[in-house]
Amino acid sequence: MTKGPAARLVLSFTIPLFFGNLFQQLYAMVDTIIVGRFVGVEALAAVGATGGFSFMVIGFAQGLTAGFSVIISQRFGAKDMDGVRKAFAQSFICSALLSLLLAAVFGFLSMPLLRLIQTPENIISDANDYILIIYLGIGTSIFYNLFSSILRAVGDGKSPVIFLLISSALNVVLDLFFVITVPLACAGVAIATVLAQGISAVISLIYIWKRFPMFRIRKDDWSPDIRQIGHLLRIGIPGAVQFSVCAVGVIIVQIAINGFGSDAVAAYSVGSKIETLMTQFFPALGMAISTYAGQNLGALDFPRIRKGFRTAFIIMAAGAAITSLLSWLLADPLTGLFLDREATAPEIIAMSEQYVHTVLWFFIPLGMIFLYRTGCQGLGSGAIPMISSLIELGMRCVAAFTLPLAFGYAGICFASPFAWLSAGLVLPFFYFRLIRNIEGKYARQLTRIRDFC
């Protein structure tokens, strides 16, 4: 990432990661598709009702491990292989401890949280069966994302895609087994997800050990390094909380949806799954620019960082246009994957498509969020991602409590775009201020060194 044309490097990193994210979402969608097709609309609504909480868990894992990988990326860019190995060991320790803590806390709170958001009584039991298993298996998600993020941090964007393919195939097979052969309904798809991620995490770790000698941890690397752990947490926790804050916004919207009944919950669940599937280019681009920024910051090449962000913005805008067009064309056939048109009320199908047709007009501000938020994290800032997430949360809450009162279900469809606009349009200003401050900091340090010499 420190040499060669920025556009080629960013795209060559983004495209494999995009397909990896796409497959990850496809196998996440399999849960919803299988319960919708083989169990029923209420089971689909039960899994959908946990969407905010699932996003909180998965997003926390992604944000945390992406933050950890920033440190590794910077050490790698600076050619500090001892630092890479040490950061990997301390990341492993932090991930293990946080996995245990989160599983205990959220496992205990699963049913109270579902009652707090007023989950309809006809689906709350199945919803709890699903999300409780996801909570207890959070460690598999954290380590799976940790190993994938580490591989991307050192420029290997293809191997995580292969491991995603393995995980996707496993998830589909296990979903069918636990839902059809062993009729465990919503609990079955949760078990399948946890097992698939766990197996893929083990495969990823074996690959890292064999392929990259610099990650072969020595005995003394396991000794807790408070300074290193503090550095990791300063970058990782804000990224994790950033996703969790966004998840709180999704949960707030879920409360509004739950008030419309289980049919609306099912429709929104399908629509949001399609939106998430169609927008996976943006987090892939964000991860690419984060790695690019981290490595070039380690190399102290600031003009190259600026050029990379300009190039990534053009790529993002083009991707948003293509994604919007595809979303418009594919909304109807994708909805048919989840719902049996002959057995499902037409109103549910119409509400699902209405959501997709609303949000697709706002993909550029969504792309800006991923580009600048994740890019600033790659530059070592934990505050900017957090501030933008709080802005997004605040606007989503405002929309969730006001728009549905005036416009009904249509108001719910505009809640996410309202939040995207609010956060996406301010982030570029934060980025420009950050890069100027970093350049000034290093310029002052160089001046002091010259004066000393």
pLDDT (tens digit per residue) in 58-102: 777 777 777 777 777 777 777 777 777 888 888 888 888 888 988
**Tokens describing residue 370:** 């991923």
Question: What is the radius of gyration, based on Cα positions, of the chain?
Answer: 22
What percentage of the chain carries pLDDT values higher than 90? Answer: 16
Burial of 193 by CB count in 10 Å (0-12 exposed, 13-18 middle, 19+ buried)? buried
From CA 15, how far away is CA 285, in angstroms rounded?
8
Mean pLDDT score, 294-319: 88
- Per-residue model confidence as pLDDT tens digits over 220-252: 777 777 777 777 777 777 767 767 777 777 788
* Cα three-residue angle 238-241-243, rounded to 5 degrees: 115
Give 391's pLDDT tier (boundaries 50, 70, 90): confident
Beta strand residue intervals within 366-451, DSSP E: none
Mean pLDDT estimate for the chain: 83
DSSP-assigned letters across all residues of 102-120 = HHHHHHHHHHHHHHHTT--
153 φψ region: left (φ > 0), alpha (ψ -120 to 50), beta (else): alpha
pLDDT exceeds cutoff 80 at 110: yes
Q: Which residue has the tokens 């999300």?
A: 131
Return the closest-CA partner of residue 420 out of 390, 395, 387. Answer: 395
Q: What is the mean pLDDT of residues 42-55?
A: 80
- 450 pLDDT higher than 70: no
Asked whether the beta carbons of 28 and 59 are under 8 A apart, the reply is no
State CA 273 to chain mean position distance. 13
Give the lowest-confidence range in 67-71, 134-138, 171-175, 385-389: 67-71
pLDDT of residue 355: 94
- Indicate if the pLDDT at residue 308 is higher than 60: yes
Q: Is the pLDDT at 131 greater than 80, yes or no?
A: yes
Query: What pLDDT score does 30 carry?
Result: 74
Least confident residue range of 145-159, 179-193, 234-248, 382-396:
234-248
Residue pLDDT, tens place only, 313-351? 999 999 999 999 999 999 988 888 777 777 677 888 889
pLDDT at position 287 is 84
pLDDT at residue 28 in the model: 67
Burial (Cβ within 10 Å: 0-12, 13-18, ≥19) of residue 302: middle
Q: Which DSSP symbol is given to 219?
A: G
**Residues 368, 426 contacting (CB under 8 angstroms):** no
CA dihedral angle for residue 147, residue 153, residue 157, residue 162, rounded to 10 degrees: -10
pLDDT of residue 449 exceeding 60, the answer is: no
Greater confidence (391 vs 68) lies with 391
Tokens of 390: 């709080």
Q: Which amino acid is at 427?
A: L
What is residue 177's DSSP assignment?
A: I
Tell me the angle at which helices 415-424 and 383-407 cross, rounded to the nearest 10 degrees. 150
- CA–CA gap between residue 379 and residue 371 (Å, rounded): 12
Q: Which tens digit of pLDDT belongs to each residue from 250-292?
A: 788 888 888 888 888 888 888 988 998 899 899 889 888 988 8
| Confidence label for 363 from pLDDT (cuts 50, 70 and 90) | very high
Helices (H), 185-280: 185-211, 226-258, 262-278
More confident residue, 202 or 35: 202
Distance CA 436, CA 438 (A): 6
pLDDT of residue 324: 95
